[in-house]
Structures are given as structure tokens and as C-alpha cells.
Amino acid sequence: MTREQAEAEAVRRWGEGGTVIFRPGAAGKARGRLARYRCVVSSGERGFFPSTEGQGDTWQEAFADARPR
């Protein structure tokens, strides 16, 4: 799944507020304790508290992980 496809899926699931975030990290460096996954999907805009969020190393994993907070 591409980022564009993930964005379309987030909008389909949660409406215009659906967001996707991709955190590739620097080559050869860990992303850190709080950014363990590359892909994040949520029902809310960045900076606001989303009611549903999922994380994973792929977009499919992130959508499968998406659950209410």
C-alpha cells in the first residue's frame, strides 16, 4: 500500500479528519522508544487527540492495529 492509498483509506474510514504519518527514521539509527513504528494512522488531525489510532511497520499493520483510545 502506498502513502496515497493509505491516505485514501484513512479518509474512507474516518472522514476528512483521517490522517497518516510516515516516520522513516535516519539510515542506520533507531527511531527511539516513542517512535518504534514507521506508519501511524488516526481518526484525528495532528496536534489533537484522535479517538482511534494504529501503528505498524506497514500501512496494513497500522490499519489492523487501529483501535479506539
Question: Which residues form the domain of 44?
Answer: 3-68
- Quote the number of domains for the chain: 1
Instruction: Judge contact between 69 and 42, C-beta under 8 A.
Output: no
The predicted structure's pLDDT at residue 33 = 61
pLDDT digit string (tens) for 20-33? 999 877 556 665 66
For 24-48, letters b (16+ CB in 10 Å) and e give eeeeeeeeeeeeebbbbbbbbeeee
Assign 13 to helix, strand or coil.
Answer: helix
As a whole number of angstroms, the distance between CA 54 and CA 48 comes to 15
The closest of 35, 29, 41, 38 to 57, measured between CA atoms, is: 38
pTM of the shown model? 0.77
